[in-house]
């Protein structure tokens, strides 16, 4: 299994502009052919898709960025990290790499970005995969709302945050003995004072208006909903609503908690390959 150090060593960076802020965006870019963009959510990073990314890159050009404020992308304080801003950042990266129309795979907040991207510019997304994605007013959840309180950044040490996030993942991964390499990859970016502030700012930027303001019926991309049925954060009822509203959508239910790409690596990979390749 790829380690987080190996993953980050293979990343490149590009400068994207969001609301007049020039921000470094880290990303993996492998393979050739029509592009597929993978986008993670909170509080993860692009390593979330390591298995599926490598499988798709054998057939297509695969691009997996860290959202700004996450992973190895810009973490300094003082810029917006909302879904609206993340959409702008992804569009900036797509432009910088000259990708044109893309296929999009999004989980959690990354799915919310993909939903906005595909609804606002239907011709820019050919195929869309949403996995336990935020949508409508399904979010923010209480855990993230509490994390986003300003005093959390002032009063939480990196060690305390690492312990809290490690516990969160252990409690919400389906396996009783989750992969330690995966857990390390999910917590490693936050183990500094800058990381603490950044994850708190990311949490405080969860604005439900950025999904309620768009109309999912505007999505014309062929859409696959890969949903973990054991998820308490984004229950499958939201996927059922998306399936009803997005005319091209097909819902596939998987026995998984919220972190479906990790809980069901092989099944997720198989469904994504069947859909995209």
- Residue 36 contacts residue 61 (beta carbons within 8 Å): yes
Residue 1: predicted pLDDT: 80
Residue 12: predicted pLDDT: 98
- Residue 55 contacts residue 100 (beta carbons within 8 Å): no
- For the chain, the domain total comes to 1
Phi, psi of 183, rounded to the nearest 5 degrees: -60, -40
- Residue 276 contacts residue 269 (beta carbons within 8 Å): no
Report H helices in 173-264: 180-187, 193-204, 209-212, 236-245, 260-263
Which residue range(s) make up the domain with 141? 4-276
Phi, psi of 137, rounded to the nearest 5 degrees: -115, 40
Instruction: Report how far residue 259's alpha carbon sits from residue 277's, in angstroms, rounded to the nearest whole number.
Output: 23
- Parts of the chain with a pLDDT under 70: none
Kindly report the CATH number assigned to the domain that includes residue 87.
Answer: 3.40.50.1820
Residue 52: predicted pLDDT: 98
């Amino acid at each position: 299994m790829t380690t987080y150090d190996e993953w980050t060593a293979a990343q490149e960076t590009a400068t994207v502009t969001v609301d007049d802020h020039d921000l470094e965006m880290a990303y993996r870019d492998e393979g050739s052919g029509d592009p597929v963009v993978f986008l993670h959510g909170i509080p993860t990073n692009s390593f979330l898709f390591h298995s599926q990314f490598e499988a798709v890159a054998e057939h297509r050009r695969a691009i997996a960025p860290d959202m700004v404020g996450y992973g190895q992308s810009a973490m300094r304080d003082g810029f917006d990290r909302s879904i609206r801003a993340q959409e702008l950042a992804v569009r900036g990266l797509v432009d910088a790499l000259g990708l044109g129309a893309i296929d999009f795979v999004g989980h959690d907040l990354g799915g919310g970005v993909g939903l906005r991207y595909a609804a606002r510019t239907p011709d820019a997304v050919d195929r869309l995969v949403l996995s336990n994605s935020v949508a409508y007013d399904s979010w923010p959840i209480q855990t993230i709302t509490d994390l986003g309180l300003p005093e959390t950044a002032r009063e939480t040490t990196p060690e305390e945050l690492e312990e809290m996030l490690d516990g969160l993942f252990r409690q919400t991964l389906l396996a009783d003995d989750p992969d330690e390499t995966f857990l390390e990859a999910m917590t490693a970016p936050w183990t500094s004072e800058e990381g603490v502030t950044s994850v708190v700012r990311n949490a405080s930027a969860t604005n439900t208006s950025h999904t309620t303001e768009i109309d999912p019926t505007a999505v014309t991309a062929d859409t696959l909903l890969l949903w973990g049925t054991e998820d308490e954060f984004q229950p499958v009822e939201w996927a059922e609503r998306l399936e009803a509203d997005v005319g091209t959508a097909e819902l596939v239910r998987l026995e998984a908690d919220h972190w479906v790409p990790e809980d069901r690596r092989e099944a997720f990979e198989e469904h994504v390959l069947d859909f995209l390749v």
